[in-house]
Amino acid sequence: MLLDGADSWVFPSIDDAARFCGGRHHNLLKALKAGRKYKGLSFVFEGSDVVPRCSQTGRHSNRPRSRKVSEFRDGDLYKVYPSVLAAAREMRVEHRNMWHILNGDRKNHTGKDFDFASPLDECLVEIQERNKQPYK
């Protein structure tokens, strides 16, 4: 186990590395497998060419912070919400329940169909909005 940075430290085990930064073995192991930093520090297995790809927050820098949601009515795309939380607020459903609906773990009692938005959904909504505006 190697702590990568200006001062490279070599730890004999994951437990020792976790103790060094005041963390837990399990959490450090998860961060290593995901290629994330842990407690703001970059850990890699010795001899590995993998470099942690993200900041202290543990998020991948290219990954969006929220997932967009498409709403369908009668099989047609109606609206795209910027996040699961925004869709849940507008439907007056708890955001956890909206996640369960989107993952298919819970039945949808809102009377509308939801799915994670694709780039095509966003383009279709934009075209629909443009068509509503009068031609100048």
Q: Per-residue pLDDT tens for 60-75?
A: 444 445 788 998 888 8
Residue 126 pLDDT:
84
Residues of the chain with pLDDT under 70: 1-8, 47-65, 110, 135-136
The label of the residue with tokens 């991948």 reads 60
Residue 58 pLDDT:
46
Instruction: Give yes or no for a contact between 28 and 14, defined as CB atoms under 8 angstroms apart.
Output: yes
Residue ranges of domains in the chain? 2-44, 69-132
Residue 48 pLDDT:
67
Distance CA 48, CA 59 (A): 21
Residue 56 pLDDT:
43
